[in-house]
């Protein structure tokens, strides 16, 4: 799989290149700032991009902006955004084009290499991978009055795992229930959130977005 | 027309009050002078201190009057007197305060010029009423014999002469109509000169305020640095030390006991995750990354999203405020939202922020129980002090039973 990598700190960039190459990815270009990221994304159209939020020249959310911008031109271009901290606001902005193929993870997750690579593959296939910390922040808001209010505790838990990008069988294993029970829960979630019938993957993205937007 | 009429009516009222107040002022002045002369034999000091609040509230009444006449605020010029000061200290402070003497001088000026200002409009108005209404009516209805009054050069002794005198009444009414605002305007200007703080007094007040707020901010910055040092020492630093130890041990055991070594490596990885989480928490407390990225606009949006209670927000800040102000406002709003979520039982929170007239105003309302109070040691009180360093203010309005409204204001320009 072809990857474009954006990370300004050489130490982390080299580490990431090593991790990616060790798992069979080809890093077609590794860049260190926002404008060259934007150019590289449009030029290479990679299978997936790994992007640090904070990049030169502004050292603010340059990476995120470049990724959102590139996805506007190449809809659904898979992007995994890495950051030292996570913000629900940014997760929402990344997902709001509803095209899927979005990951948003804390940088520490790279140390669990296998999970990180799994997440990267899920994103490349158009799925989502939200950091458990974003999901935890969302679960904190259970007091709110919104469509999510109608979900049972179990359904909420399942939605949290969908947001992290887990498949039904993975969710089943984590919650010690059968895959069939999981798909019953997911169907209930889609129905309660009033999501239109469409491809299963897309509905999962929409469910997560509803989660973020309320 | 109707408005001018209302205006003249209130001006006539003010003039009428100025027939009385200057005289009261003169009496006050003589009272103060008597107590001052007694101060040489000590008894005068408490007596004098007793008159001070009376004179000041008398002067303050006139300050409000002048404000009403000129639509410009007249701030109080007095230097603060500490509540726990002894009578002797209070006496010394009051005597040293220029405003005390300017008040007394003003009592004298008001006793003469003020009286005139009260007198003229009232006499003119009374004269016109007399000539235009009372005289003609009295002569028409009762035709009293042998009664006569002089209006200017005309002797009014029957209905005909009363009618002849009416143009004079019109003249005096016109004089009242035109002259009163001018006269009151002149009076307001004169009084402002005495009642307003002198530039010197204003500077002095400002310096005092700055001294207090500077020592507050220096103190809170030092406390903040100590807290960060402690957090780093007990948190991330300790975790990295343990990480290093685990790595060292793992290296030793690599050949002899690979299984234990791998367990140690797993622990080391976990410590690194924990250390990072700890650092993240710390950084959020110093300067939240979203604030650095997006400014107050993004920072407040992020706070609204993270609040456990639904927040309806309307944030209109077209630009960036200076970093320290953004941070102070961000943390203040975070504190207010946390309070609302924890204590108020609110079901809905409103958050609005705007920039107008050279200041940022942030308003947080909730439909909760109310009854919140600002205490100096409470979280909100501390944030009030932090905002004060930027000349900002916190206003809390929280009647028991709700709703609660917190308004934060800081003067600043956007870039």
| Domain map (residue ranges) of chain A | 2-131, 141-213
ipTM of the prediction: 0.78
Residues on chain B touching A85 (C-beta within 8 angstroms): 280, 283-284, 289
Query: Residues B32, B178: one domain?
Result: yes
Other CB atoms within 10 A of residue B85 CB: 12
Using a CB–CB cutoff of 8 Å, tell me whether A61 touches chain B. yes
Whether residue A11 has pLDDT greater than 60: yes
Please tell me the pTM assigned to this model: 0.66
Whether residue A54 has pLDDT greater than 70: yes
- The alpha helices in B233-378, defined as continuous H runs, are 238-256, 258-286, 289-306, 323-343
Encode pLDDT of A159-184 as tens digits. 888 888 888 888 999 999 998 999 89
* Inside any domain, residue B200: no
| Predicted local distance difference test score (pLDDT) of residue A200 | 66
Whether residue B379 has pLDDT greater than 80: no
Query: Residues B326, B276: one domain?
Result: no
CATH number for B393 = 3.30.565.10
> pLDDT band at A78, cuts 50/70/90?
very high
Whether A86 contacts A129, CB under 8 Å:
no
Who's near A121: CB < 8 A, 6+ residues apart?
A1
Q: What is the mean pLDDT of residues B241-256?
A: 89
Query: Residues B113, B234: one domain?
Result: no
> pLDDT band at B219, cuts 50/70/90?
confident
Whether residue A211 has pLDDT greater than 80: no
Give the domain extent around B341. 293-411
Lowest-confidence segment of A149-153, B95-99, B111-115, B357-361 by average pLDDT: A149-153
Who's near A8: CB < 8 A, 6+ residues apart?
A32, A33, A52, A54, A55, A56
Whether B325 contacts B412, CB under 8 Å:
yes
Whether B294 contacts B319, CB under 8 Å:
no
Distance from C-alpha of A200 to C-alpha of A178, rounded to nearest angstrom:
19
Query: Residues B167, B56: one domain?
Result: yes
Query: Of B286, B310, B343, which closes a domain?
Result: B286
- Which helix (H) or strand (E) segment holds residue B220: the answer is helix B199-232
Encode pLDDT of B155-168 as tens digits. 878 888 888 888 88
Query: Residues B191, B63: one domain?
Result: yes
Residues on chain B touching A90 (C-beta within 8 angstroms): 290
> pLDDT band at B386, cuts 50/70/90?
confident
Backbone angles phi, psi at A151, to 5 degrees: -75, 145
Residue of B220, B409, B412 lying closest to B332 (CA atoms)? B409
Distance from C-alpha of B97 to C-alpha of A23, rounded to nearest angstrom:
80
Cα A146–chain centre separation: 23
Task: Sort A24 into a burial class: Cβ within 10 Å, 0-12 / 13-18 / 19+.
Answer: exposed
| Predicted local distance difference test score (pLDDT) of residue A141 | 65
Of the candidates A53, A106, A144, the beta carbon closest to that of B309 is on: A144
Q: What is the mean pLDDT of residues A31-55?
A: 94
Return the bridge partners of B313, or none: B351
* Inside any domain, residue B141: yes
| Predicted local distance difference test score (pLDDT) of residue A145 | 52
Whether residue A117 has pLDDT greater than 80: yes
| Predicted local distance difference test score (pLDDT) of residue A146 | 64
Encode pLDDT of B263-307 as tens digits. 999 989 888 888 988 898 888 888 899 998 999 999 999 999 888
Return the bridge partners of A6, or none: A31, A51
Query: Residues B170, B230: one domain?
Result: no
Encode pLDDT of A123-151 as tens digits. 999 888 999 888 877 766 655 556 677 78
Query: Residues B265, B391: one domain?
Result: no
Pairwise CB contact (< 8 Å): B302 & A87: yes
Q: For A2-131, CATH number?
A: 3.40.50.2300
Q: For A141-213, CATH number?
A: 1.10.10.10
Pairwise CB contact (< 8 Å): B280 & A85: yes
Count up the domains in chain B and report the number: 3
Cα A76–chain centre separation: 12
Query: Residues B211, B240: one domain?
Result: yes
Of the candidates B292, B293, B302, the beta carbon closest to that of A88 is on: B302
Whether residue A198 has pLDDT greater than 80: no
Whether B175 contacts B152, CB under 8 Å:
no
Cα B253–chain centre separation: 69
Query: Residues B372, B402: one domain?
Result: yes
Q: What is the average pLDDT score of chain B?
A: 86
Query: Residues B32, B179: one domain?
Result: yes
> pLDDT band at A106, cuts 50/70/90?
very high
Query: Of B195, B224, B247, which closes a domain?
Result: B195
Who's near B106: CB < 8 A, 6+ residues apart?
B59, B191, B194, B195
| Predicted local distance difference test score (pLDDT) of residue B202 | 82
* Inside any domain, residue B38: yes
Backbone angles phi, psi at A28, to 5 degrees: -75, -30
Report the percent of chain B where pLDDT is more than 90. 16
* Inside any domain, residue B88: yes
Whether residue B66 has pLDDT greater than 60: yes
Query: Residues B43, B174: one domain?
Result: yes
Cα B343–chain centre separation: 28
């Amino acid at each position: 799989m072809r990857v474009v990598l954006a990370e300004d700190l050489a130490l982390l960039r080299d580490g990431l290149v090593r991790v990616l190459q060790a798992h069979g990815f080809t890093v077609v270009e590794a860049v260190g700032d926002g404008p060259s990221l934007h150019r590289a994304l449009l030029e290479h159209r990679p299978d997936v991009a790994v992007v640090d939020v904070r990049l030169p020249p502004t050292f603010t959310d340059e990476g995120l902006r470049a990724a959102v911008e590139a996805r506007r031109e190449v809809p659904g271009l898979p992007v995994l955004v890495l950051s030292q901290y996570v913000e629900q606001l940014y997760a929402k902005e990344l997902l709001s084009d509803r095209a899927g193929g979005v990951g948003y993870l804390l940088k520490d997750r790279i140390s669990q290499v296998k999970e990180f690579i799994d997440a990267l593959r899920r994103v490349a296939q158009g799925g989502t991978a939200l950091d458990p910390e974003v999901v935890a922040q969302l679960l904190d808001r259970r007091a709110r009055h919104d469509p999510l209010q109608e979900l049972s505790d179990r359904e909420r838990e399942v939605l949290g795992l969908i947001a992290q990008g887990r498949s039904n069988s993975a969710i089943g294993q984590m919650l010690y229930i059968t895959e069939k029970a999981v798909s019953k829960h997911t169907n209930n979630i889609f129905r309660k959130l009033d999501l239109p019938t469409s491809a299963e993957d897309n509905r999962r993205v929409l469910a997560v977005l509803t989660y973020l937007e309320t | 027309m109707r408005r001018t009429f209302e205006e003249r009516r209130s001006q006539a009222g003010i003039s009428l009050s100025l027939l009385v107040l200057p005289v009261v002022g003169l009496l006050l002045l003589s009272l103060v002078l008597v107590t001052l002369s007694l101060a040489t034999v000590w008894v005068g000091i408490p007596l004098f201190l007793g008159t001070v609040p009376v004179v000041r509230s008398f002067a303050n009444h006139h300050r409000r009057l002048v404000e009403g006449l000129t639509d410009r605020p007249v701030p109080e010029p007095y230097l603060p007197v500490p509540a726990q000061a002894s009578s002797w200290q209070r006496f010394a402070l009051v005597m040293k305060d220029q405003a005390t003497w300017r008040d007394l001088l003003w009592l004298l000026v008001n006793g003469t010029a003020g009286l005139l200002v009260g007198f003229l409009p009232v006499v003119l108005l009374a004269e016109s009423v007399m000539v235009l209404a009372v005289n003609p009516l009295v002569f028409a209805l009762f035709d009293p014999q042998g009664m006569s009054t002089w209006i200017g050069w005309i002797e009014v002794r029957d209905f005909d002469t009363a009618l002849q005198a009416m143009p004079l009444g019109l003249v005096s009414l016109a004089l009242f109509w035109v002259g009163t605002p001018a006269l009151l305007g002149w009076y307001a200007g004169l009084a402002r000169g005495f009642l307003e703080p002198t530039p010197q007094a204003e500077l002095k007040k400002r310096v005092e305020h700055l001294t207090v707020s500077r020592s507050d901010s220096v103190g809170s910055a030092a406390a903040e640095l100590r807290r960060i040092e402690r957090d780093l020492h007990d948190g991330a630093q300790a975790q990295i030390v343990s990480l290093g130890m685990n790595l060292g041990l793992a290296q030793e055991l690599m050949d002899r006991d690979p299984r234990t070594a791998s367990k140690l490596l797993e622990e080391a990885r976990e410590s690194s995750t924990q250390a990072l989480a700890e650092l993240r928490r710390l950084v959020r407390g110093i300067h939240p990354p979203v604030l650095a990225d997006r400014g107050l606009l993004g920072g407040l949006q992020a706070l609204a999203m993270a609040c456990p209670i639904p927040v309806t927000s309307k944030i209109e800040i077209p630009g960036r405020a200076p970093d320290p102000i953004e941070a102070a406002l961000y943390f203040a709003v975070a504190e207010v939202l946390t309070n609302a979520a924890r204590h108020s039982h609110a079901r809905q929170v409103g958050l609005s922020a705007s920039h107008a007239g050279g200041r940022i105003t942030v308003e947080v309302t909730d439909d909760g129980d109310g009854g919140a109070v600002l205490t100096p040691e409470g979280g909100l009180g501390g944030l009030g002090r932090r905002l004060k360093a930027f000349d900002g203010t916190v206003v809390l309005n929280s009647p028991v039973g709700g709703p609660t409204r917190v308004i934060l204001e800081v003067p600043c320009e956007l870039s």
